[in-house]
Amino acid sequence: MSTLEEEMMTTEEIRRRVEELGQWFHNLDLGGVKTAPDHFLGDYPATKWQRFSAAIPADLRGKSVLDIGCNAGFYSIQMKQRGAERVVAIDTDEKYLAQARFAAKVSGADIEFRNLSVYRVGELHERFDLVLFMGVLYHLRHPLLALDLLHEHVAGDLLVVQSMLRGSNESIDVPPDFHFWENDVFDDQKFPRMYFVEKRYANDPTNWWIPNRACFEAMLRSAGFEILDHPEDEVFICRWAEVTGPVNYTEELREITR
C-alpha cells in the first residue's frame, strides 16, 4: 500500500469502514476495496472521467480548485493527483462528506471539506482557478441562480460543469429577438428547453430541472461563461467572462442574496 493511511489499515479494515459509511454513489478504489461495485452506471464516475479528463490541465501545480457537490470526493482526489495546490470540496450531505473525508485519507489527498450549499459560496470569499460543478445543476430548484452565484463569487478562470440532459442534443444559434406572435419556434425540439420534474425522476425527488443541450449552453452563456470545449455528452469546459447580455442581472443578484 502506497500511502501512510493504507499502511495503517488492512484491506479488511478499509472494507469494514466503507460498509459502515453506508451506500456510496461514487465507486472509488480504496486500497483495493471498491465502494460501489454494483453501481447502476457501472464504474462511475471513473468511466465518465475517462471521457473528458484530457480536456482538463494535466498539471495543476500552484492552482486552487473548488469542487461543488463533491459527493464522496472522486473528482477532488483526481485534482490533487494532478498536483493542485489547494482543493476545497463542499457538499450539504454529511454522509457524503464523511465518505469523502475517509476516501481522501486513504488516498493520501490533502483536501479541505466543508458543509456548504452552492447558494452560500459567497461565504468562501475566494475565487478559484478551477471550479468543478458536476452533477449538481438538475438537483437544484434554482439552477440559473446557482450559475450566477458561481460567476459572481468563486469562478476565477475555468469552470468544468456537468448536467444530466434530456431532449434534443443539438446546439443551435438562437436569434436575438422574436416577434410577439411568433409561436413556431417554441415547437422546435432544438429550442432551449428546461423540463420541470414536479415529483420524481429516476425515483429521486431532488431531480427538479433537466435541460436540453441548447438550454444548458444558453444558461452558461447567460451567467457569463464562455464555452471552450464540449468533450463529453454532458460536460462543458468554460471560462469566466464579462456578462454581456442585454440585461445586467448583477444588481438583482446582490439584492436577493445579501
Question: Alpha-carbon distance 219 to 223, whole Å?
Answer: 6
Confidence label for 7 from pLDDT (cuts 50, 70 and 90): low
AA identity, residue 242: E
- 239: cell is 471560462
Predicted TM-score of the model (pTM): 0.93
DSSP 208-226: -EEE-HHHHHHHHHHTTEE
pLDDT per residue as tens digits for the range 93-147: 999 999 999 999 999 999 999 999 999 999 999 999 999 999 999 999 999 999 9
Please, what are the domains in the chain?
A: 61-257 (3.40.50.150)
pLDDT at 1: 41
DSSP helix/strand/coil, 2: coil
20 sits in which H/E element = helix 11-20
> Residues of the chain with pLDDT > 90: what percent?
87
pLDDT per residue as tens digits for the range 59-97: 999 999 999 999 999 999 999 999 999 999 999 999 999
CB of 68 closer than 8 Å to CB of 146: no
